[in-house]
Amino acid sequence: MHPWIYEYYIDPIISDSGYNPVNTVTWALILGGMLLLIIGLFRRLEVRLDERLVFCTVPYILAGASLRVVEDADLVAAPAKYLLITPFIYFLVAAVTLASLILCRGALKERYLSGYALVGLLWTGANLLVLSTQGTESLSAPVAIFSLGSAATLAAVAAASRLKLRFLSDRLNLLILYAHLLDASSTFVGVDWFGYTEKHVLPTFLIELAGTALVMYPLKLLILVPILALIDDALRDDPTLKNLTKLALLTLGLAPALRNTLRLTLGI
């Protein structure tokens, strides 16, 4: 194996050391490719990817995030644990999610979304049950994270109302905004209060530059708000691509927010 491949791809997985510029770009490209494959699959199966399906997929985001914490807690031994680390966990969760969707659609017909969401909730519940055996280290962490995330979201919505940014009144856009501000809050609480470190390249650079993880709040807003506006404008005629892109954005905010919150709560 080439040393370059080991350094930038294999070692970060084996050691769970986080991200570097090379694998960050690679995983982003893989995510984009997965989105295109999923769009093709949905069209082939004639599945309508509307907002209701996106909301019913949220339990699977929670399941994936809590499953990642199972690995963080060293409850799975190597080599199986590597399946729970980026990028393999993306494939695992996507495969289970799609299989659940297809099976529930075939078995429950027009009522399949309720069953689909229930499977995701049961999966999340099973992960949390496993994690509950670890005990809790800090109950103040989740309280602080959800309080700060909620306050930041309310402030952002109030500012958007004054600026007449009507697209932020859309309920899915609001959920995405809330998820990312929860992520910002979990990073701030973890880094500034508990001494954790950020693993992503750009946030790490900005946190070190600013001297505080509070920088995550303006960073999230400066990136997220224009992207949401662009998606609603450019993809208005392609609801499948629009909603799948928003689902990806939701995942990128909600999954790390829950993972960070669980890790802080459990002291992992």
SS (H, E, C) the chain: CCHHHHHHHHHHHHCCCCCCHHHHHHHHHHHHHHHHHHHHHHHHHCCCCCHHHHHHHHHHHHHHHHHHHHHHCCCCCCCHHHHHCCCHHHHHHHHHHHHHHHHHHHHHHHHHHHHHHHHHHHHHHHHHHHHHHHCCCCCHHHHHHHHHHHHHHHHHHHHHHHCCCHHHHCHHHHHHHHHHHHHHHHHHHHHHHCCCCCCCHHHHHHHHHHCCHHHHHHHHHHHHHHHHHHHHHHCCCCHHHHHHHHHHHHHHHHHHHHHHHHHHHHCC
Give the range of the structural domain holding residue 20, as residue numbers without chain letter.
3-266
pLDDT tens figures, 122-139: 999 999 999 999 989 999
Name the stretches of the chain with pLDDT < 50. Answer: none
Q: What is the pLDDT of residue 1?
A: 56
Q: How far is 215 from 200, CA to CA, in rounded Å?
A: 14
Of residues 263, 241, 135, the one with CA closest to residue 189? 263
Q: How far is 108 from 198, CA to CA, in rounded Å?
A: 43
Number of domains, the chain: 1
Contacts of 91 by beta carbon, 8 Å cutoff, 6+ apart = 34
Write the CA distances from 135 to 2, 150, 266, integer angstroms: 42, 26, 6
Q: How far is CA 133 from the centre of its chain?
A: 24
Residue 137 has φ and ψ, to the nearest 5°, of: -105, -40
Beta carbons of 90 and 251 less than 8 angstroms apart: no
Contacts of 82 by beta carbon, 8 Å cutoff, 6+ apart = 13, 14, 88
Q: What is the pLDDT of residue 78?
A: 82
Amino acid at 212: T
